[in-house]
Amino acid sequence: MTVQDKASEAPCRILVVGEALIDVVVDHDGDSIETPGGSPMNVAVGLARLDILTTLVSQVGHDERGGLIVQHVTSSEAEMVAVPTSSGRTSVATAHLGEDGAARYDFELEWNLPRQPLPPCRALHVGSLGTLLEPGRESVLDLVEQAVARNVFVSYDANLRESFVDDRDQVRRQVHDLGARCSLVKLSDEDALLIDPAADPDDVARGLLRGERTELVLLTRGARGATAFSTTEETSARPRQIEMIDTVGAGDAFMAGALAQLSDLDSFRQPGPGVPVSDEDVSRLLRGAMEVAAVTCERRGANPPRRRELPPGWPV
């Protein structure tokens, strides 16, 4: 089944494309649990739980872990186009948690997504390893080019992993080339250091804002908050105090929270993609996204909240 077959009747949906895998989370005492993960999958689940119609395009194996991923996505009320892996096995990421809850990852991945026609959609979101790993990367980039040709809103979360950054110059070029095709780019301060360890993360974000289609860059800094860079302003906000469990999926929850708010604001409208540019809108966008991430950090693993679990009137 192709993306077109699955999603052609839902042009109001956000299409998310990228890896879905199993997170094996090992805490600092050595105890482990297995949960569905992968940055794009987490974003798709987060969007669906925030009542945004969403379709995830990814790969899973014909195994128990693949079934767990499909059940997790669909139980969150997102649709999933699950392309089978060549090996029949589902990809795995092992997250080793430190005493502070921060995660270090090891990966066993397969990513050979075939090329697909882009179905009618409100927006396209891509990111993380799905935009880096060959041969599937080329299929993701092709979908981005199709979206650009139709003037569809495209968002991109770099979400880099150090173990996949063998050639820093090449990765820097890839991030900038893809970012230039997107209306919204998100990265963390850790991503910025991997892109250019000699540069200030703010300057890395400002460099991405020079992309030909880019209107907004979101730079997250963990517990120190986040900054939004637009062509006219820079706005920062800090999260509330939380009882930290772990950071797994926090950046993906932030991304889902930001996209959900843009959807609420009708920022994916045609004939051209737009983003909020007023101080009030951007500040609210940051606060709302950080609240979604904060709730996720108060839970074990990548488990973003549903809209009804957020404060009344979210985003406030």
Distance between CA atoms of residues 45 and 219, nearest Å: 22
Q: How far out from the chain centre does Cα 225 lie?
A: 17
- Asked whether residue 249 is domain-assigned, the answer is yes
**CA nearest to 27, candidates 254, 189, 194, 244:** 244
Q: In sequence order, which ranges of 17-84 are alpha helices (DSSP H)?
A: 39-49, 64-75
For 59-114, the pLDDT digits (tens) are: 999 999 999 999 999 999 999 999 999 999 999 988 787 777 676 778 889 999 99
Q: Is there a domain that residue 92 lies in? A: yes
Residue 310 lies in a domain: no
What's the one-letter identity of residue 267? S
Amino acid at 87: S
171 within a domain of the structure (yes/no):
yes
Q: How high is the pLDDT of residue 272? A: 52
Token pair, residue 172, equals: 């820097």
Residue 309 falls inside a structural domain: no
Crossing angle between the packed helical segments 64-75 and 39-49, to the nearest 10 degrees: 30
Residue 198: inside a domain, yes or no?
Answer: yes
Q: What is the 3-state secondary structure (H, E, C) of 216-265?
A: EEEEECHHHCEEEEECCCEEEECCCCCCCCCCCCHHHHHHHHHHHHHHHC
Confirm if 79 and 16 have CB atoms less than 8 A apart.
no
Residue 316 falls within a domain, yes or no? no
Segment holding 107, helix H or strand E: strand 103-108
Q: How many domains does the chain have?
A: 1
pLDDT of the residue at 277: 59
pLDDT confidence of residue 8? 44
Residue 311, in any domain of the structure: no
Taking the model in full, what pTM does it have? 0.91
The DSSP bridge partners found for residue 15 are 55, 124
Domain of residue 253, CATH code: 3.40.1190.20
pLDDT(6) > 70: no
Domain of 85, in residue numbers: 3-302
Mean pLDDT of 261-278: 73
DSSP letters of 70-97? HHHHHHTT-EEEEEEPSSSPPPEEEEEE
